[in-house]
């Protein structure tokens, strides 16, 4: 079974490379943006023609949330046009697509975890382009999985955890917002779940499990809580202060509440999910 992974140099792409050896039954083909630019149709056609993938995991995305506000064209090119191009290639080559999306498609006004059928209402360019990418895939394909996730971190790439650890070497005190609530997601945990979806689908072709799913680790916390746990686990002493979002303005709006309900993915694929505290 051949599985193409786009965005191989990103955080999730690297996490998939990290777990790939655990799955000898899969022939992974990892392509970074140089090997496969998903905004270019002929580049996609060339790769698909060569490797003829059974599955494609699209981890390629424009994820610079604040920067997207000032360069929306770049976000649209990757998050919308790129997703659409991949969906069209998957349709032509009968490849099953797994596309990774985000909690930013919601406005954050909820008070209970978002289910897969909650109505999206993005408040940022990033969130809007990711939602538009989802819609493009749904308009083209039937055999797709869209997996929405949140607050992704790991030992790879740029993320909140690595930023906190770096800042702790430079400062004696830090202020972190405590009024945005969500769930950290370890990218390696997400990578394993994406592969589990592939293995289940391949083993049970008669069962139609296609559609939208949520995945994050279990539990909920603020960014302040997350930072506190990071420093606790790493035995770092630092003066950590909670602050409201109003004290830390950003170009892009952040959802105040973006906890995802994982009932569907747990039930469908018989997945057990660790708490966010455990995975740190």
Integer Cα distance of 114 and 189 in angstroms = 20
Predicted confidence at residue 229, as pLDDT, reads: 98
Segment 252-268 mean pLDDT: 97
To the nearest whole number, what is the mean pLDDT of the chain? 97
Average pLDDT over residues 265-270: 97
Q: Per the domain annotation, does 251 fall within a domain?
A: no
Residue 174 lies in a domain: no
- Residue range of the domain that includes 21: 2-159+185-217+258-274
| Residue 253 counted as domain residue | no
Neighbouring residues of 253: CB distance < 8 A, sequence distance ≥ 6: 123, 124
The predicted pLDDT at position 85 comes to: 98
Average pLDDT over residues 102-126: 98
Residue 140's pLDDT is what?
A: 98
CATH of the domain at 141: 3.40.50.720
pLDDT bucket at 7, cuts 50 / 70 / 90: very high
What's the pLDDT at 230?
A: 98
Asked whether residue 212 is assigned to any structural domain, the reply reads yes
Longest pairwise C-alpha distance within the chain = 58
Give pLDDT, residue 195. Answer: 98
Reported as a pLDDT band with limits 50, 70 and 90, residue 188 is very high
Q: What is the mean pLDDT of residues 15-40?
A: 98
Using alpha carbons, select from 28, 10, 7 the residue that is nearest to residue 19: 28
For residue 62, being part of any structural domain is answered with yes
The answer as to whether 228 is a domain residue is no
SS3 letters for the chain? CEEEEECCCCHHHHHHHHHHHHCCCCEEEEECCCCCCCCCHHHHHHHHHHHCCCEEEECCCCCCCCHHHCCHHHHHHHHHHHHHHHHHHHHHHCCEEEEEEEHHHCCCCCCCCECCCCCCCCCCHHHHHHHHHHHHHHHHCCCEEEEEECCEECCCCCCHHHHHHHHHHHCCEEEEECCCEECCEEHHHHHHHHHHHHHHHHHCCCCCCCEEEECCCECCEEHHHHHHHHHHHCCCCCEEEEECHHHCCCCCCCCCECCECCHHHHHHHCCCCCEHHHHC
In a domain? residue 175: no
Structural domains of the chain, count: 1
Binned at pLDDT 50, 70 and 90, residue 268 comes out as very high
pLDDT tens figures, 115-165: 999 999 999 999 999 999 999 999 999 999 999 999 999 999 999 999 999
Looking at residue 160, what is its pLDDT?
97
Query: 86, 40 in Cβ contact below 8 A?
Result: no
Catalytic residues: 126
Query: What is the distance, to the nearest Å, from the Cα of residue 60 to the centroid of all Cα atoms in its chain?
Result: 10
- Predicted confidence at residue 120, as pLDDT, reads 98
In this prediction, residue 81 carries a pLDDT of 98
Q: How far apart are CA 153 and CA 277, in angstroms?
A: 13
Q: Which of 199, 216, 202 is nearest to 258 (CA)?
A: 216
Going from the C-alpha of 183 to that of each of 45, 215, 217, the distances in angstroms are 37, 10, 6
Give the pLDDT score at 152.
98
- % of the chain exceeding 70 in pLDDT: 100
Report the predicted TM-score, pTM, of the whole model to 2 decimal places: 0.97
* Domain membership flag for residue 120: yes
């Amino acid at each position: 079974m051949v599985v193409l992974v786009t965005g191989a140099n990103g955080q999730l792409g690297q996490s998939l490379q990290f777990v790939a050896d655990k799955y000898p039954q899969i022939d992974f083909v990892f392509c970074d943006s140089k090997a496969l630019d998903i905004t270019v149709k002929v580049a996609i056609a060339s790769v698909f023609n060569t490797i003829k993938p059974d599955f494609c995991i699209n981890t390629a995305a424009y994820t610079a949330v604040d920067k997207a506000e000032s360069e929306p064209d770049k976000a649209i090119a990757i998050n919308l046009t790129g997703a659409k191009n991949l969906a069209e290639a998957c349709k032509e080559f009968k490849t099953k697509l797994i596309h990774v999306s985000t909690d930013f498609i919601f406005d954050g006004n909820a008070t209970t975890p978002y289910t897969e059928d909650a109505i999206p209402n993005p408040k940022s360019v990033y969130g809007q382009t990711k939602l538009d990418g989802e819609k493009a895939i749904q308009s083209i394909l039937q055999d797709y999985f869209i997996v929405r996730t949140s607050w992704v971190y790991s030992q790879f790439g740029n993320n909140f955890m690595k930023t906190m650890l770096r800042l702790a070497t430079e400062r004696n005190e830090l202020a972190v917002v405590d009024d945005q609530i969500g769930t950290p997601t370890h990218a390696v945990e997400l990578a394993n779940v994406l592969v589990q979806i592939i293995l289940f689908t391949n083993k049970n072709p008669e069962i139609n499990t296609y559609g939208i799913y949520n995945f994050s680790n279990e539990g909920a916390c603020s960014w302040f809580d997350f930072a506190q746990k990071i420093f606790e686990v790493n035995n770092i002493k630092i003066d950590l202060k909670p602050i409201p979002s109003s004290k830390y303005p950003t170009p892009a709006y952040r959802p105040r509440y973006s906890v995802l309900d994982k009932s569907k993915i747990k039930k469908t694929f018989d997945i057990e999910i660790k708490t966010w505290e455990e995975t740190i």
